[in-house]
Amino acid sequence: MSSDTTADVLVAQRNDPSFDDVWDELLWRGLVHVSTDADALKSALAGPPITFYCGFDPTAPSLHLGNLVQLLTMRRLQLAGHRPLGLVGGSTGLIGDPRPSAERTLNTPEVVADWVQRIRVHVERFLSPEGENGLRVVNNLDWTAPLSAIEFLRDIGKNFRVGTMLKKDAVSARLNSDAGISYTEFSYQILQGLDFRELYRQYECVLQTGGSDQWGNLTSGTELIRRTEGVSVHAIGTPLITNSDGTKFGKSEGNAIWLDAELTSPYAMYQFWLNTDDGDAVARLKVFTFLDRAEIERLEQAVADAPFKREAQRRLAWEVTRLIHGESATQAAIDAAAALFGQGDLSALPADTLASAIAELPSAEVPAETTVVQALVETGLVASLGAARRATAEGGIYVNNERVADGDATLGQSILAGGIVVLRRGKKTLAGVTVRG
């Protein structure tokens, strides 16, 4: 996304004025699963600007849709006048937050440093740098690197009780597994608690947000500040987003939906949202868009009255893909989808957009002299050459949206940008072919 596009999107964003305050809007959008004292939080968020933070560890070269929940929650707080700190975990990324299942593989300091810079760019895209409450990005390596082991154990570790640490969900799960847990990952919650205290001392930060699965880490910070500074600070745990069938949101066969266009293309991003189940569409609109309550309620009624039109899903896909990748890339994704199904000109699509589109389809790489019927078999659109010839004779085979009369025609006569050929059987069954040579 270009900086100009980012600025335009940020300027257009607003909190919903139909709510009394941002706390009420967060509740309505389903963004508060657990928190410290709710009345105190509501009062703090309705008063003069406070400083708050959320941390993002560089455990991959890109953030994903789960992280986007936090970024948009931060943006709503910023729009309410509060001051965001985006923490990129240069030190905690070297350690790894314990997962319930197994020990993380530690990345080299060089890889982590590179990913820190990449994630910093992501954070800066979704929060405004302008004004008195402009975004400030910080790196926890700045205050942990100078600490000696003795200082860490004596001054920080002394304030943590092992019994309490053992009760954290991820730690407990690992202790009861065959994998166990290393002291390295066990110490993660101490580091995160240190982060909150350091940000409290440097910037008077009094609120941390994060996923509800991070609640133990969030409260390690509130407790450390209470013990050492003698004040109460706040934490909000957003719900883990799951689909209506109980499956984990944003995952497909273990692959995250990334915010980086090189890892998840705008076309794939748009299609992901477009395929949202009817039962999830309204909840996703609340969490991932800045549409107001009245518009979301209208779309909710549209789902109930005419679900086959998928109006809510189309709006969701447009809003979120535009937010992440910009308007032109989103429109290109829409145009590509239309063209694939015969409602547009495939030859007008840029090579990168076309390549992104066929990456989501059954595909094959073949030489230029491959015939249409051979390509149908190679891509799995039909089971055999005989079936391919019958489908062609019946008029049900298309190459680049043109009906095929001769199944023995070669693909070299029909190559689009990037050496791509699009095959279609009937109205909706598609495959992509990359022609080599």
Q: Which of 9-18, 20-29, 130-139, 297-306 has the lowest mean pLDDT?
A: 9-18
Place of tokens 């009062």: 43
What is the per-residue pLDDT for 321? 97
- Under DSSP, the state recorded for 371 is B
The CA dihedral of 22, 28, 30, 31, to the nearest 10 degrees, is 0
| Ramachandran sector of residue 426 (left: φ over 0; alpha: ψ -120 to 50; beta: rest) | left
What is the layout of strands, in order, in the sheet containing 420-425? 363-367, 429-436, 420-425, 397-399, 402-403
Q: How many residues does the chain have?
A: 437
Q: Tell me the per-residue pLDDT of 149-207, one tens digit each, with 9 for 90 and over.
A: 999 999 999 988 887 888 777 788 878 777 788 888 888 899 999 999 999 999 999 99
Q: Which CATH number fits domain 248-344: 3.40.50.300, 3.40.800.20, 3.30.70.380, 1.10.240.10?
A: 1.10.240.10
The domain ranges of the chain are 3-240, 248-344, 361-437
Orientation of helix 278-288 relative to helix 293-305, angle to 10°:
170
**What's the whole-number mean pLDDT along residues 358-384?**
93
Output the pLDDT for position 6.
64
Mean pLDDT, range 346-371, rounded to an integer: 90
Q: Is the dihedral of CA 416, 349, 118, 54 positive or negative?
A: negative
DSSP 248: B
Nearest-Å Rg of the Cα atoms of the chain is: 25
pLDDT per residue as tens digits for the range 242-296: 877 777 776 544 568 999 999 999 999 999 999 999 999 999 999 999 999 999 9
C-alpha pair distances (Å), 75 with each of 24, 41, 134: 15, 17, 11
Helix, strand and coil content of the chain, in percent to the nearest 5, comes to 50, 15, 35
Supply the mean pLDDT for the chain.
92
pLDDT in tens, 33-91: 999 999 999 999 999 999 999 999 999 999 999 999 999 999 999 999 999 999 999 99
Please state, in angstroms and as integers, the Cα–Cα distance from residue 190 to each residue in 58, 100, 108, 242, 267, following that order. 18, 18, 22, 29, 41
For residues 316, 318, 321, 322, the Cα torsion angle rounded to the nearest 10 degrees is -130
Pure H helices in 343-384: 351-358, 372-379
- Tokens encoding 206: 């009094």
Say whether 347 sits in a helix, a strand or coil: helix
- pLDDT for 255 equals 66
C-beta neighbour count of 426 within 10 angstroms = 12
Q: What is the pLDDT of residue 3?
A: 45
- Answer whether residue 4 shows pLDDT above 80: no
Neighbour tally for 142: CB within 10 Å: 12
Tokens of 218: 């969030």
pLDDT in tens, 203-254: 999 999 999 989 999 999 999 999 999 999 999 999 998 877 777 776 544 5
SS3 236: strand
pLDDT at 1 over 70: no
Determine the pLDDT at residue 99: 75
Name the CATH topology of 361-437. 3.10.290
Which pair of structure tokens corresponds to residue 350? 């840029």
3-240 and 248-344 agree in CATH topology: no
- What does the DSSP 8-state code read for residue 189? H
Confidence (pLDDT) at 428:
87
Judge whether 333 and 266 are in contact, CB under 8 Å: yes
Q: Which SS3 state, helix, strand or coil, does residue 365 take?
A: strand
pLDDT at 250: 65
Q: How confident is the model at residue 437 (pLDDT cuts 50, 70, 90)?
A: low
- Cα 430 to its chain centre, rounded Å, is 27
pTM for the model:
0.90
Question: Which fold would CATH assign to domain 3-240?
Answer: Rossmann fold (3.40.50)
Confidence of residue 129 (pLDDT cuts 50, 70, 90): very high
DSSP 168: S
Element (H, E) at 53: strand 51-56
